[in-house]
Structure 1
Amino acid sequence: WNWAKQFEVNSEGQMVNHIANFSSYLNFYFAYIEDEWEQQITANTDIVRSYNMNSSSVRYNSAILFVDGVPLASGQIVPKWSEINISVVIDNPTDMNFNNLYLDLAVNGEPGFARTSLKLPAGNSHRTNLTWMASVEGPLSLGVSTVVVDYSGNLTDTTISFSKFVEVEGSATTFKTSGSWVALLAVFIVLSLCSYIIYFGFEEDTESLDTEVKEDTEVEEDEHLRELALPQETEEEKEN
C-alpha cells in the first residue's frame, strides 16, 4: 500500500483536489521498466498499469553495408582487407529498456567474426554499427543475429537475424588484374617502339632519296657543261 493525498485545504479553508505523482521501476536485470504518471485519487484505489513486455516484437528495421565509408553498390566486388561496416537500425516497441543487446556477425554461417553491444531504450529505434575487416575471400553471406532474452525466464528467448551478401576478391583476381595492366603496358611499349622505327626509317628513306636526286642533278649539270665545252674547243682547233 502507498498513501496519496485525495485533496488539500488551502489558506481560505477551501478543499482543493490533489493530483498525485507516481513512479514505478521494475528490474529484469537484462532490462528494466521505468514509468512516471499523474493521477487523482478519490478513494482507496488499486492502481493497475499495463506494460508491453513482448520481447519477440523487437526486430531489425534496416541494414546498410558500407565499404571503406562508401555504400556498397550492386554487384560490387570488394577488395580484400576492406573495412566493411554494417549499419543496423533496431526497433523496440516494448516498454522495456534493454541494458545490453549483442549483435554478432557470422560469415558463411561461422560465428565469431565481430560483435558489438548497445543499450536499446523503450519505445524507440536505435542505430548501431558492426565493423569487420574483409579477411575472407569469395562470395560471402554476412549474417547478423541478436538474442533477445524473454523476461519470463522460461527459456523461450527470441533470436532476430538478417543476412547480407558481398563478394570479396581473391588473390587470383588481384594477380589477373595486375597481369592485365602489365600486358597493356607491354602493348603500349611495343606500339611506341614500332612508331619510332617507322618514323626514323621514313626519315632515312627521305634523306637517301634527296641524296640520289641531288647526285642525278649534279651529273646532268656536268654533262650539260661538257656539251657546251666541246664546240668551243672545235672552233679553236679550226682557227689554229
Structure 2
Amino acid sequence: MAEDPSNDVSYFLEIGRPHLDYLGPVRHWSQLRTAAAEDAYWVRGLTAEQLESTEIRSIPLKKIYYMRDDQSQLLFPIGAAVPVKRLPSGLLWTPLEKAMPLEYPSYNHNYFGLSEKLPVRLAASSNEEDPVAMLVSARLLGGYIKTAPAVRLEPLSWVIVDDQALLLGNPLLPLPGKSYWRRGNHLLPAGLDLEWPLLAETLDRQMNPQGDCWLVWEEHGGYLEVKKESFRPLSISSFRLSESDIR
C-alpha cells in the first residue's frame, strides 16, 4: 500500500462498478491495486502527487479518501477530519492492469444514472497546446490578405461566423483574435480544456455523431457547430466572393 512517508497516510479511490473503464488512463501505473466490493471498485496505492495529476483529476464519478490507521480501516474524505465510512472488509486486491482488459468491455458511456449527470464545463489547463485555429474580425482579415503573399495564406482554410472569420491551419496569421487548440473534433480556447478530458470522445459521439463538424467551444461552456465542408481555402478571391455574407 502506497503511503505518504511524512504523515503515514494511505489513499483510496472508489468508483462505481459501471464506471470501471474510466480508470483506463492509470491502468499502467504498476503500484496500483484494485478490489471489487458489492457496488464499487476500490483502488489503493496512489501517492499524494498522483492525486494532483491530470490522469486522476480527469476521472469523473470518483471518490477519494485517506486512511491514517490501517487497524481502524476508517476512511476520511480529502480535506476532512471526520471519517465517513470504513473500507469494506474481505477485499481481494489485484494489480489494476491485470483487473482491466486491454480492450475495454462495451457499455453505455453516456449512462450516468438518473441522479448522476455531468455538466460540461471548461477548466484551466496546465498544458500548453499549439493553436490550430483562430477567430478574427472578418474585416480585419480582409485588410490583411490584400497585401499578404499567397504562400502565407495557402496553409489555411476559413469560414465566416457572423462578422468574424474562423481560420483553420498552421501557421496562423499574425492578427489579434481568439486562438483555439484541437482535441479530436473539439476546438478549445487556448489555456482551457474540458473539465473531464476523458469524456471528449463520448461527447463527440453524442454531439457530433457523423464527425462532420468542428465543435467550437466558448469559455462559459457553450459551443458552436461548424460544418467541415463549409471551410474553403483562404485567398483574396475566396474572401471577395464571401464579402456579401459579412454582417
TM-score of the alignment, normalized to the shorter chain, above 0.5: no
TM superposition score normalised by structure 2? 0.26
Higher strand proportion: 1
Q: Greater relative contact order: 1 or 2 (C-alpha under 8 angstroms, separation 6 or more)?
A: 2
Larger Rg: 1
Q: Which has the higher helix share?
A: 1
